[in-house]
């Protein structure tokens, strides 16, 4: 029987996949691995620990009510990344501005420390999303906005952790997508999903259909297309929407489908953040044979103009994303 490879062993074997690295990526991933274990433990106890469940009594920069576990997860990831000495700055969905860490560090981390946190109290899967860039300002000097406002095409690595029936860490360095499942019995992540790819024929669509009439005519046309009975194209498709981006994306990656959060008349730029959510999952999607779009353009080619910039988002099987784009470009 072939021995299962641990995340640590896999990183060492594939160290050459991380450009210009001499052990930095191993340290970066070990920080994310450690913080995710700590957060996973707290998530699994959420129903028992009143100090971790419920609203924190504060709002983040987007005006969204922070949950106690939002704040806790943010602190854990920042502490773990800062301790590794290779990160110069962190941009988090939970902080108004970026956080300088170490002027001698070479890497930028953008993260959503706890995606889907509104689902904590009802025991639904949530997650962490992260993205890694090389800084553009000189090492040893102060950080600049340009370090953080980089296109998604400049990502060195991206990944997510899903806290569900099991805890999984999925990441890419631009050489395919690999998934690791946490074994709490021995305290390590084990390679469980090598070379992840979207199935050729996706038939799931994931969208909050409560926004149907608030969405554009093009989005409405795509939903109607997905619901139309047509055996030749294996329609109608199946509607599945959890409300945690990581959970919806992860399911669609494994089973095949498209996730959509379009612009609406109440959220003309959509809801999801380009740097913390859209770019990292777009990188993973493309490496898994899928694609990601704002409805008209490739997500990873968008020039960021603000740390908390929002964009409409369509991600998943390429054929489904292409069809959604076609409907939007044709119908507006």
Question: How far, in whole angstroms, is CA 273 from its chain's centroid?
Answer: 10
Listed in order, the ranges of the chain carrying CATH 3.30.540.10 are: 7-193
The closest alpha carbon to 36, from 76, 72, 66, 88, belongs to: 76
Here the tokens at position 264 are: 């609406």
The answer to whether the beta carbons of residues 196 and 177 sit under 8 Å apart is yes
User: Was domain 204-331 assigned CATH 3.40.190.80?
Assistant: yes
Q: Where are the alpha helices (DSSP H) in 96-255?
A: 145-148, 217-227, 245-255
Which residues of the chain are under the pLDDT cut of 50?
Answer: 1, 51, 54, 56-59
User: pTM for this structure?
Assistant: 0.93
**So what CATH class is 7-193?**
alpha beta
Long-range contacts of the stretch 263-269 (C-beta < 8 A, 24+)? 263/215, 263/216, 263/295, 263/312, 264/211, 264/214, 264/215, 265/214, 266/214, 267/310, 269/309, 269/310, 269/311, 269/312
Q: What is the pLDDT of residues 35-77, one digit of tens each?
A: 999 999 888 876 555 545 545 444 455 555 566 888 899 999 9
| CA neighbor of 288 nearest in space, from 137, 125, 139, 177 | 177
Given this model, what pLDDT does residue 2 score?
A: 60
Residue 47 is predicted with a pLDDT of 56
Q: CATH 3.40.190.80 residue ranges in the chain? A: 204-331
Residue 3: the pLDDT is 76
Burial bucket for residue 27 (CB in 10 Å: 0-12, 13-18, 19+):
middle
Strand, helix or coil at 260? strand
């Amino acid at each position: 029987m072939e021995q299962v490879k641990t995340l640590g062993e896999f990183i060492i074997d594939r160290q050459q996949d991380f450009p210009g690295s001499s052990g930095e990526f191993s340290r970066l991933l070990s920080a994310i691995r450690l913080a995710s274990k700590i957060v996973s433990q707290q998530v699994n106890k959420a129903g028992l620990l009143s100090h971790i469940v419920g609203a924190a009594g504060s709002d983040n920069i987007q005006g969204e009510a922070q949950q106690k576990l939002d704040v806790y997860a943010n602190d854990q990831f920042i502490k773990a990344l800062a301790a590794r000495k290779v990160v110069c700055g962190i941009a988090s969905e939970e902080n108004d501005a970026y956080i300088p860490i170490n002027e001698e560090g070479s890497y930028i981390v953008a993260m959503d420390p706890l995606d889907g946190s509104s689902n904590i109290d009802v025991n639904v899967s949530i997650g962490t999303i992260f993205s890694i860039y090389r800084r553009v300002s000189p090492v040893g000097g102060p950080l600049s906005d340009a370090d953080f406002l980089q296109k998604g095409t400049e990502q060195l690595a991206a990944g997510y952790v899903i806290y569900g029936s099991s805890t999984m860490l999925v990441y890419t360095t631009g050489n395919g997508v690999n998934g690791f499942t946490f074994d709490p019995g021995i305290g390590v992540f084990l390679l469980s999903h090598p070379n992840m790819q979207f199935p050729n024929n996706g038939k799931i669509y994931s969208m909050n259909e409560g926004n149907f009439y608030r969405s554009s005519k093009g989005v409405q046309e795509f939903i109607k297309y997905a619901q139309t009975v047509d055996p030749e194209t294996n329609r109608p498709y199946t509607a599945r929407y959890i409300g945690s981006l990581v959970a919806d994306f992860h399911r669609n990656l494994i089973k095949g489908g498209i996730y959509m959060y379009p612009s609406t008349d109440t959220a003309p730029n959509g809801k999801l953040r380009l740097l913390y959510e859209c770019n990292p999952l777009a990188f993973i999607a493309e490496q898994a044979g899928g694609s990601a779009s704002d409805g008209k353009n490739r997500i990873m080619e968008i020039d960021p103009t603000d740390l908390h910039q929002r964009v409409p988002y369509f991600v998943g099987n390429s054929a489904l994303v292409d069809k959604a784009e076609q409907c939007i470009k044709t119908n507006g």
